[in-house]
Chain A
């Protein structure tokens, strides 16, 4: 009897969440096509590889829930990664460096958000401009060269954030789940989360309901920036250096994860769990194609096709 209700719950989960269904199918197909896919090592590998995109995408989810868009996250990642690299190289402990980096990301996001909120410029334009400027800033800051984190004690500790393990599980995976739980709690259990949904559902309604719409808008871009900065820490730590052109195209992967996860680009509708699953869909796909030895050129085509399919599935189910 209990297995029956469990089965029911599982079916419900699959039906409610198209992205989850897609992920399950993808895992089954990958496991069938390759013996190497469903191994503990490879699963951990996929999760670790997905963590950076997942962390960024969860931040972008907040923005998209308000019917905005953030194209600047890849550039924010490059610039804040350079900050993190430089701070660590100077011997600054990550206990200060990492919060500092995240704060810098939040500040960069907040500036973009202020232009969206008070400047009444479309988010697409503001964040496109921010992307261009911050890419340039990252090149200026690094002088176009990678910044090595060095070999100090601080650098060793910092490196753990990208390359370390705890209980046999890579640290980035913990960070990903930590961000997920935090975002989930904020979105579904706080007034701020409700206000995010309300602003996306109808700005006029939100304003008349006593919501400080501008503050919400600035906050979501700040959250997006902070998440991108945290992702930059993971990336920089893992590589041992900050790359001036890091994160190119990451904004599109993040948006793809959000959309695969079922969040509406029109705002007001979506869930953070969907985004996490969406990022995993992209991660599993990349991994499976790699294992099967598909060339990276074809991988891009396959990835595009899967994103299209996932979104098609979602729009079919919501429109009927």
Chain B
């Protein structure tokens, strides 16, 4: 954009690293998380950082951005050795990190969030709102976001919130922008927009680091990829040098034979019928699903899939239409009713809706199924409860030290498995899984897929909501697509392709967009 960044762009052709990490090591209470990690970041390059959950990616980025201090090793920035002792120092040095859990204040507007703590002032020392919103608007426009900077952030989609975070990084004029799982909660269209933003930032000569579980994006968006495994750098090189399967092999250190282990269904009786269901965010949705079937739900973020699930399980109220379970009409007024009728909803938002993060793994896992372990006067039979928890820990390969440790000390994949175990302990017949592999690494994903197949084999009826297209295509027996709260397509496994589903998902959306713009 300016002359300075242009110079930087030219100098990138004779690569001198903008930032260098040499021999970084980090231990947490005796456990080695990082060991001898070297990494160089170049201007005008996008560096991917891949690895399973717990491989040390996030820790490395926290060292880089001053959140943690390395126990050993050196950090060099623009040819000078630096020691960051606080995130603020890294920020001042031009390093911005966009965390997986977005750091925005919901009640404040997008503009206020972008300039939080650095609000432009007028001569009287008061906030110059006009300038603030103008500049915020310009930043968002640069990201091609039709977001009004005056909208409270809480009213934006997660994808839009991400863009607000990126706009904040831009407002800091950060040269190094780190994105931790930026696309994990984005829809495919939002991901595409992000991709263009990344390309634009790279052209400006900024150095980007992307941590992602979504492998195709590494090859599409990144110039080079570094792989961490158990805290060590096992690979670093241009993305053109390897393909997806080789990358996976480097990440997990073993072959993953079949990523989507599909099994044909043995259909039982019709378990759930939804007829002309309307609820907040849902319009006139009808479908049915049988025992032993995985019915997939595709669509863009905000298409109404989560809202549909919430209405079905009684968390929100139904405005019109009917839900029948085993042909019997039901009217759930709370998730409690649904659980009793054998329907369980595993929410997408593990942290807010799925698990009590401060509480123990055991207490979380048994929470919904507690009535089954209770004797007279509601006394919990601790032995029975513990046995059930142990059974699921083993069956789901949940890695932990102690079932009484707080659940937020587990990795994302293990948390998700615990979340599934919690739901299945209630012995449901119908399971609604909302983004069951979000924030989960490749290895754990496969384990969750195997669990879904196991449910199918047991004759459970699975409604699978997923924004990850290959996953949806790989696991579902049939696929419904929602757009703007309505069903916009229904596909058999054989008809469904990424293209047909995308078309159905985007169809009504683009129609309304042209109307409004």
Contacts and interface: CB of A to CB of B under 8 A. Distances in A.
Interface stretch (B149-157, B237-245, B352-360): B352-360
Contacts of A269: 358
Interface stretch (B49-57, B203-211, B334-342): B334-342
Interface stretch (B290-298, B375-383, B495-503): B375-383
Nearest to B359: A201
Contacts of B340: 210
Given A210-B426, A212-B334, A197 B359 contact: yes
B330 interface: no
Interface in A178-228: 189-192, 194-195, 197-198, 201-202, 204-212
A201 B426 CA distance: 20
B352 A209 contact: no
Interface of A: 189-192, 194-195, 197-198, 201-202, 204-212, 268-269
A204 B352 contact: yes
A21 to B, nearest CB: 22
A308 B34 CA distance: 40
A202 B339 contact: no
Contacts of A212: 334, 336
Contacts of B352: 202, 204-205
B270 interface: no
Contacts of B363: 194, 197-198
Range for the number of chain B residues in contact with chain A: 20 to 34
A212 B380 CA distance: 17
Contacts of A192: 378
A209 B359 contact: no
Nearest to A190: B378
B356 A210 contact: no
Contacts of B380: 189-191, 194
B37 interface: no
Contacts of B379: 189-191
B359 to A, nearest CB: 5
B367 A209 contact: yes
Given A190-B380, A197-B363, A208 B356 contact: no
21 contacts: A190-B374, A190-B379, A190-B380, A191-B371, A191-B378, A192-B378, A197-B359, A198-B363, A198-B367, A202-B356, A207-B315, A207-B335, A207-B336, A208-B347, A208-B354, A209-B367, A210-B335, A210-B339, A210-B340, A212-B334, A268-B359
B133 interface: no
B355 A208 contact: no
B358 A268 contact: yes
Interface of B: 313, 315, 334-336, 338-340, 345, 347, 352-359, 363, 367-368, 370-371, 374, 377-380, 382, 422, 426
Nearest to A268: B358
Shortest 7 CB-CB distances between A and B: which pairs?
A201-B356, A210-B339, A209-B368, A210-B336, A191-B378, A190-B378, A209-B367
A210 B423 CA distance: 11
A212 B353 CA distance: 15
A204 B374 contact: no
Contacts of A195: 370
B377 A211 contact: no
Q: A191, A198, A209, A269 — which one has the most chain B CB atoms within 10 A of its CB?
A: A209
Nearest to B426: A210
A189 B347 CA distance: 28
Contacts of A198: 356, 359, 363, 367
Contacts of B374: 190-191
Nearest to B371: A191
Contacts of A210: 334-336, 338-340, 368, 426
Central interface residue in A191, A207, A208, by most chain B CB within 10 Å: A208
B203 to A, nearest CB: 42
Contacts of B356: 197-198, 201-202, 205-206, 268
Nearest to A200: B356
Given A190-B379, A190-B380, A207 B359 contact: no
B447 to A, nearest CB: 23
Contact of A201 (B336, B345, B358, B382): B358
A192 B382 CA distance: 14
A207 B378 contact: no
